[in-house]
Amino acid sequence: MIVERTRIRTLSLILVFTFLFISTGCHQTPRVVFSSADPTATPNRRPNFRPDGGYEPSAKFGDSFRNIVWISVITGSGVGYGTACAPKPCNPPPTPPVGERVNWVSQTPRGLLVTKESLFEWKDEDLSATRVHFTTESVNGTHYRFSGRFLIDGDFEELKPTEPVLTGHLVSFINGKISAEEDVSFTWFSWKEVDPKTFRRRK
C-alpha cells in the first residue's frame, strides 16, 4: 500500500513538471553532433540544450533489462503553463502557438526510469550536453545506475531526432549488490506522445 502511494505521488509530480515543458518558446537551432571517437570532447554547447522527453531502448536489451520501458528527462518548464494539472495527473491545456509561448526556465534535472512494474525516481543525477549520470531510488531492494552521454546537442523537441541519441552503461542492483550490467542506447520521443493515464508512450 505504501509502495503504491509512493508510486502515485511520484507519477503525479513528474507529470506536472514534464507536461510544462511543451509550452516553451523555441526558435530553430542547428544540430550539433558529438564525435563518437572522443567521449570527453566538449564542443561549443548551445545555451538552449533541452533534452526533455522520453527515451526508449533503441535495440532489444538483454534478459536482465527486458522489463525496462523507458527513461524520462526533465530540465525545465515554461512559466505559467500546465498549473491546472496540479497536484494530480491530468491532460494539460492545449499547447499555445509558438508566438504566445512564455520563456523557458531551467530546473534541477530530474527524471524516472520506468519498468513494467515500477517507477524509479532519480535521486542523484549529473546531466549536461556531454554527460549523463543518475542513480535511482530503491524499490523493493532494487535500484539502477546509469552513466553515459548524449550524442547530439540542441532542443530535442525542435530537432525530433530519430536515431539513437543517448548511450551509456546501465547497472542494476539488488540489495546493494550488482545483479546485471549492460551497454545500452536510447532513442528520443516527445512528452506529447505520453499517455498521462498509463504513463506509456502512445503507439
Would you state the pLDDT for residue 179? 97
pTM: 0.69
Quote the pLDDT of residue 104.
Answer: 66
| Dist CA 85 CA 77 (whole Å) | 14
Cis status, amide bond into 87, omega within 30 of 0: yes
Residues 6 or more apart whose Cβ sits within 8 Å of residue 112: 10, 14, 71, 72, 119, 120, 121, 122
pLDDT attached to residue 7:
52
Q: What is the mean pLDDT of each run of 10 residues along the chain (203 residues)?
A: 48 45 39 40 56 93 93 75 37 47 72 94 90 95 97 92 97 97 96 86 86
Looking at this protein, which amino acid is placed at residue 64? S
3-state SS assignment for residue 170: strand
Predicted local distance difference test score (pLDDT) of residue 47 = 63
What is the per-residue pLDDT for 103? 64
